[in-house]
Structure formats: structure tokens, C-alpha cells
Structure 1
């Protein structure tokens, strides 16, 4: 077997979307002739933990860990959080408009922790991996970010070993939705952009998750950025037989931050509930996972408190089982400058469940194109209240008739197995 070193911050028992891309990709690499070697922190400060994901690791995977020091306890003291309290996804957006201590924490994060709070793991990792690679050569190095500190580790290894290196951008760096909220000085902004450009220049290949993200990352003349989508693992859906809810349930799974709060949805649901007693009685809004307080507040302000069901983060397969029974699957996109390129990993799992998807975001986006291509659901603009009302009325009518379903097609191209093959074809080409 050939060997690939994958440098990733997110790995089980950490949970959430950041883990899935390379946990699932590595699962199918041995069948394609590649042995995955995972380099990851021994003690990460993960926002979500999912012990069940350890079962997903392929038995031929080698896992190498070293300790990491992160400044999060300092941040907790500064922002008056309890010791060990988890930082929610979207913390920067929330803190950037908070009190002066929260704003100070964001300023420190953006201007002194470059590129991110995991920067203190860069030098120890370079030392450790330099020695490791001298004794255990590999055929390929992959770094996946964010956190983009992972790319800076690979950058230095590339200079020492000249091993082929692929930089994988699961999310952008200077084009990410919260970048303009980091309260950056001109000096810090220049450092971020220079480091990003060096990674893009020195990596042998750059891959990302959507066409719009690829366009944003095409900053080096003549250098192409390849798209390897996220996807779904068919094995996760074996035996997942659940009958649809008897209620008109609209379910979201995963982190639900302030920037994703779909005001048009809550306003429209509130209006429909006020107009139609049956709609009010049947409606259930289920939010599974970390949810920002602003989302709950919006729901309650629209008279939907009694329709809301909140659940803590669930192990991955239990979460899928909950989703499988939902009448509608909610996919809100961050209302941010890069919204057209955002393709949430959960979208592909929603598609595999073959329940109607209600997506909220730009209708000329990558996610809207995939939903149309696969006939998996509807995409509604951030402020399109009439379009939202029409879709919800149609979904509710079909629900009452027992006909709410989708005839999706071409979904299998987004299976993790097929995407792993696409990745290896890129490598071997």
C-alpha cells in the first residue's frame, strides 16, 4: 500500500461536521490501495464530542497523536465562561457584538492568534513529524483546514521533504463568513493573506468543497483548485427504516449559529400558525445540537414556543434516525458574503434520507444547483417571504394527504466511496 499522512485537528472522539470529511474519506482509502496515517491532537478542545464515531475508523488506519496547548481557558476566564465549558460553533459572530470583554477576546483571536488558536501546535508538530517522516516515509501529505494551522504544518514539511502535498480547504481562510468580524488590524490582515497565499502557492494541489469556494481560492495564476464535494456514507443508512412523523415536523441537525438564523422562516411559520389552527397544532420545530440563543429567541418572538422541541447533540447515527422520521429537513445557510459557495456536509446526508429539504439562502448558489439537479428539495432566498409561504403551504398540504416525499435522483454520485475514488484519481493523475 501507498501511505498518506493526513494532518487534521478534528478526529474522533471529537464530533460535528469538521470530523466527517476525512473520517469517511480515510475509511475508503485502504480499498483503493492507500493506507491512511492520521496525525491529530491528543487533547483537543472540541466543541462537540461523539464517542460513537470511533467505530467508523478503518482498522488499517494508523493514528498518531501528540499533545496540544490551546488558549481556551484564558478565553473562558476573559468571557466569564465556566471551566471546561464548550465554545459553540459561530462563537466569533456572537462575541464580536457582545460586551467589551467578548470584543477583546475576538481582537486577540484575530490579531495575535494567527491563523487560529491552534497555532501553538505548529512548531511541536513540525519537529515531531520531521522525525516521524525520516523513519516512516509517506507518498502523500494532506492537510485539512480549518483550522488553517494544519496547512502551516504541512507547508514546513513540504520544504523539508518535498513529498507531494494536497491542501484541503473544507472552509475558506480569508473569505470565510466571520473573517470581517475578527476586528483585524491592517498588519494582521496582511499576515493572514500572505500565509494563505503561500499555502496556495506551495501546495502541489488545492482542493475544496464547492465551485464558488474554488473560484475564491484561485489566487495563484495558472493554478487550478479542484472540487471534491462532501458526501454521505451509504453504510450509515443501512437498516435506517423509520416511518415519517405523524406531526408536521421540520428538523435541523447540528450547529445552528446566529448567522444561520432564518428570520423569514420563523416569521412565515408564525403567520401560518396564526392563520390556521390545524397548522399550529401539527407543527413541530425540532432543533438537534448546539443552538444559538438568538435562534430560540426568534422562534419564541413569532409565537412558536409551544411548537419547539430542543435536543442536545446526538451520536451521529442516532441523529440520522431522528432525521429519517422528519417530514421536512431544514438547511439554513449562513447569511454571509460567501454564502453562494457554502455546501454544508449535512446537506448530502439529508439527500440520502430522501426527505424534502427546505434550504434558505441564495437561489443562485452551489447548494441550490445541487438541490435542483437531484430534485431533493426547495431553495428559498433569505428574504423571500412569499416563496417561503408557498413552499410551506404546499408541503403542509402534501403532508395532510400523506404524499409529502421527494423523487430524488443522481444522489449516489455524492457517496463517500465514490468521492474517495475521485480523490485518488486526482492524486494518481
Structure 2
């Protein structure tokens, strides 16, 4: 008999973006390990990104529970329009360049909605799930955040019921980069810390996506902490022809602080100095991009080389990954982002295209890329190293032998990762 496990998640198809992938894939493979996942989601979520193509990945055999949610971002859009949508995507303008409306919205978001704007879903969810868990003999509940308010659902259920509760952190809570942009008062900061501590010390187990996050949480709790990274899934696509131009492609969000000005300077110098490079080069940007980043690219004289595609479905993103010459992976240059491993890294790794990554020193991303032989990693101040590597890639492109020779990727497959999860369950 399969074990029933209740999974509480905010992001679920037709939601797009990286937040939906982790548990969509776990749910896909859990039945293979004698576990029956029951998924609880908001009925009318106001997702900032939509991807209808993901709906077909949901098995008709999976039980989906839904209940209504009140979404403050809907009302915020009536006042600020586009700005509310960009904030909900995590795109925050640099301090000093924010409009008064954006400053006000960030203050309200940070101090009136703790831990986040989905907090109103906690109380009705607990009322519904209390009865459902008892009636359907559910022994294990998993909550996944962000939004971290969903962990408060697990916290309250744990107090009321005899269940095993696992809190899955796709990102850290109080140390994630954007947390500092929320203009928190001291009392609001203390409230976040208190809730984080309650969750970490009340859950029976905690799952995180990186070793630095595990180290961070070990200082806050003695509860068992397991690292299960994100990963890749096998995706069947039509035969894809690699781009004829020397394309550098960034797939995903380029936030304001994720702005590698040294890379734009290297590329600008190369197109100015080498006519042949200028003729071959193209910068593909697939996904949301901050205005600050676009302005930096324009100031570098690269606008004519940019193909700004915008947001595409996950299926289309996979195609861009496989057809691009070089894949760019850019992380914010901060101590706080050493623990962030973007989900797209693993899909990049199985695309058979070289990865050119930038971020803080000693990050998990750097270690994974090095250990899998899937690309090169650079710090934000390494102009010479970047230039040398791009020229090396360009020479290989001209010779028709630009490719990668990855090793040790199997452990990052979604099925293998789900097997690790099943052992915790």
C-alpha cells in the first residue's frame, strides 16, 4: 500500500518560472517509490508568470486539493500597474533609483505582510487540512517555500495533529538577497527571525537545496537537515540545430543586482577590436530583465547585438538552451548568494553547451560546474579571465568544435533526487 504524503505548495501549473519545477518533478516520480503525493494549492493564485505547457506534466492520477487565496498583488496593480508585477517577480530597482511608489510598496510588503503577501492563506488552509489529514490517514506533510508563509501552515498543523512535518526551503528565509530590500523595521526583522526559528525548530526535518544553506540553518536548529538540490529532467525535443551565430544566451530573470558590467565591457571591447567577432556575435536574453541591466548593456554599446526575447515557456527555454553556443549563468555578487543554486544550472548542464558563469567566490555553483566539467566560473572583477575564455570559446566556434564533455550528471536527475527524497519520507 502506498504511503499518502500531503504537499503544500503555492507554485503549480499553470505557474511558470523556476519555483514550480521542483515539486512538479518530485510529484511526477514519487509514485515510483511507493508514495502517493496529494498536492494542496491555491485555487485562484495570481502568478506573475504563466506557462500552460506545464499542465500536461501533471498525471491525472494525482489528487489536487484547492482553496481560494486572497492576493494583495492584484490590488497593488490597480495602484501601480507594471511596478507591482515586477516586484512580484523579484525584480527590484537599485536603492537610490526607486520611485516613491516602489519604496512605499516595498515598505508595505516588508512590514505589513510578514512573512510574505500570501499570509492570509494560512488560517483557511489549516482549517481545511486539519479535517482532510484526519479523514485520509495522512501521516506526513511537506511545506515548500518561498513563499515562506506556507511553512506556517505546517507549523500550525504540527501543533494540532500527530504528523511528521518536513519543511522544504527552495531559498533561504531571512538571508536571501531581496530580504534586505524590503525596508524592514527592527520589529519586523525580529518577527521574521522569530517565525524562521519556530519553523526550523518545530519541523521534524528540513530540506534545503545547497550546502551553505544547510550550514546556515545548523546554527539555528538541531533538527536533521538534508540537502536535495534541484535537478534536470529528461525532455524529448525535436532535432535542434545549433545557432549559426556566436550566441551567448541568458535564460531566466536578470535582476537589477545581477548585472555583470565587466562582462558587458569585455564584449564591448571585443566587438570594437575584432570585426569578425562583431559580425558573428549575438546576445540572447530570454526572460525578465531589469531596466538597470538593459541600460548597462546600452551604455556598453551592445544594444544592436541584443535579441531580447522576453519570457518563454519552459519547453521553449529548453530549445534555446540546446541551440545556443554559450549559456550564461549570472548570480548576484554577494555573500548571501553563495548558497543559491539556480534550477536552470542543471538543465544547462545536460544541454551539451558550455556554461559561462559569474558570481561570488566559493559558491556551490562554482563547485558543481567544476566537478561536472560543464563550463567555467568567474568572479565579477576578472576582466582578463573572461576575455581570454570568451576568445577561447570563439576560436572553438570558428573551428566547429565548441562542445562540452560533462561527467557525473546522473545524480542530479529528477528521478535520482526523488529517490533521495523518498528515503527521507
TM over 0.5: yes
Cα drift, residue 202 of structure 1 = 0.5
1:257 paired residue among 243, 246, 255: 255
Contact 2:92 2:256 in 1 (8 A): no
Alignment CA distance shift 1:158-1:97 (3 Å)? farther
Contact 1:95 1:102 in 2 (8 A): no
List runs of 5+ in structure 2 lacking aligned partners.
none
Q: Distance in 2 between matches of 1:334 and 1:43?
A: 32
Match of 1:324 in 2: 322
Q: Distance in 2 between matches of 1:159 and 1:310?
A: 49
Q: Distance in 2 between matches of 1:31 and 1:258?
A: 41
Give secondary structure in 2 for the equivalent of 1:29. Answer: helix
1:269-308 per-position Cα deviation (integer Å, ceiling 9, x unaligned): 0011111111111111111111111221111111111110
Contact 1:41 1:68 in 2 (8 A): yes
2:336 paired residue among 332, 335, 338: 338
Q: Distance in 2 between matches of 1:381 and 1:82?
A: 33
Where do 4+ consecutive residues of structure 1 move more than 6 Å? none
Match of 2:205 in 1: 205
Contact 2:372 2:406 in 1 (8 A): yes
Alignment CA distance shift 1:221-1:48 (3 Å)? closer
Q: Is 2:212 aligned against 1:184?
A: no
Q: Distance in 1 between matches of 2:161 and 2:330?
A: 43
1:308-330 per-position Cα deviation (integer Å, ceiling 9, x unaligned): 00113222112111211100001
Q: Distance in 1 between matches of 2:44 and 2:83?
A: 15
Contact 1:89 1:257 in 2 (8 A): no
Give secondary structure in 2 for the equivalent of 1:168. Answer: strand
Contact 2:237 2:319 in 1 (8 A): no
Match of 1:362 in 2: 360
TM-score scaled by length of structure 2: 0.96
Alignment CA distance shift 1:297-1:93 (3 Å)? closer
Match of 1:293 in 2: 291
Cα drift, residue 60 of structure 1 = 2.3
Match of 1:37 in 2: 38
Match of 2:108 in 1: 108
1:160-200 per-position Cα deviation (integer Å, ceiling 9, x unaligned): 11211110000010011111111111111110000000000
Match of 1:393 in 2: 391
Alignment CA distance shift 1:182-1:85 (3 Å)? closer
Match of 1:138 in 2: 138
Match of 1:59 in 2: 60
Give secondary structure in 2 for the equivalent of 1:330. Answer: strand
Give secondary structure in 2 for the equivalent of 1:178. Answer: helix
Equivalences for 1:205-244 in 2 at 5 Å? 205-234=205-234, 236=235, 238-244=236-242
Alignment CA distance shift 1:394-1:281 (3 Å)? same
1:346-397 per-position Cα deviation (integer Å, ceiling 9, x unaligned): 0000001111001001241100000000000000101211111111111111
1:379 paired residue among 370, 377, 380: 377
Contact 2:126 2:153 in 1 (8 A): yes
TM-score scaled by length of structure 1: 0.95
Alignment CA distance shift 1:233-1:45 (3 Å)? same
1:206-257 per-position Cα deviation (integer Å, ceiling 9, x unaligned): 01101011111223353332100100011x1x34531221100011112221
Give secondary structure in 2 for the equivalent of 1:166. Answer: strand
Match of 1:5 in 2: 6
Match of 1:16 in 2: 17
Give secondary structure in 2 for the equivalent of 1:338. Answer: helix
Contact 1:97 1:103 in 2 (8 A): no
Match of 2:273 in 1: 275
Q: Distance in 1 between matches of 2:372 and 2:96?
A: 38
1:143-167 per-position Cα deviation (integer Å, ceiling 9, x unaligned): 0000001100111011111211110
Contact 2:145 2:171 in 1 (8 A): yes
Give secondary structure in 1 for the equivalent of 2:60. Answer: coil
Match of 1:73 in 2: 74
